[in-house]
A and B are shown apart, each in its own frame.
Chain A
């Protein structure tokens, strides 16, 4: 069965960086893209960007351009999301999700809580 398992919770200080991993299993990793979506406490879903696991092409949300980098390691079927220059409003649960070519997110990771606090 398809599974996306994310790394554990992180606590970071303002200005630091965080890198969240998302290990995929149960399907051919390079046949699908991976999206990253975050959810601030009590708020809705915010799309962060997408990476093709086939060729590494990326597409980032405009508000995060310059601070976010998404990568994949096809040898371990793992996707990564790195966010730099963290601010308090980056505190959120970060989700990875498999991207079907028809435009929807059909499987989601369990989420990783990133807390940014001095």
Chain B
């Protein structure tokens, strides 16, 4: 049971827009801690996709965007492409766990 809740799977056709939610609580996202997102392509290490809620590292296409409100955050992907098929994880910090990093359970994105 992950501290941050994500839908197990989402899907969309090429060119469409999808969103992935990340729901926390008052001890993590709701406490004001930043949310970060990672993309894990099959058989590879995770890669930082969005940091501090909505910032993109250099090289990440602007098709990827992040937002945060209250106890939740979202990752949006527009103009879906086949190479976006991957697992996506949100990450934050939880003050009730003695300063521990917490991950969402991950969401599998399927491009139809």
- A residues at B contact (CB < 8 Å): 35, 37, 44-47, 50, 59, 61-62, 95, 97, 100, 102-111
On chain B, the residues within 8 Å of A37 by CB distance are 46, 103
By Cβ-Cβ distance, the 8 closest A-B pairs, closest first, are A104-B36, A44-B106, A108-B45, A47-B101, A104-B51, A45-B103, A44-B105, A106-B48
Q: Is the CB of A111 within 8 A of B45?
A: yes
Q: Which of B83-112 contact A (CB under 8 A)?
A: 87, 89, 91-93, 97-106
The minimal Cβ–Cβ distance linking A90 to chain B, given in whole angstroms, is 18
Judge if B33 is at the interface, Cβ distance under 8 Å: yes
Contact with A along B12-48 (1 / 0, CB 8 A): 0000000000000000000001101010000001111
Contact-residue size bin, chain B (C-beta under 8 Å from the other chain) = 20 to 34
Q: Which of B25-77 contact A (CB under 8 A)?
A: 33-34, 36, 38, 45-48, 51-52, 57
Known: A45-B89, A109-B45. 16 other contacts (CB 8 A): A37-B46, A44-B105, A47-B101, A47-B102, A59-B99, A62-B97, A62-B98, A100-B51, A102-B51, A102-B52, A103-B34, A103-B93, A105-B36, A105-B46, A107-B48, A111-B45
Closest to B8 in A: A44
Closest to A99 in B: B101
Q: How far is the CA of A103 from the CA of B93 in the complex (A)?
A: 8
Closest to B47 in A: A108
- Return 13 A-B CB contacts under 8 Å, by A number: A44-B89, A45-B38, A45-B91, A47-B103, A59-B98, A62-B97, A62-B100, A95-B45, A104-B52, A104-B91, A105-B36, A108-B47, A109-B45
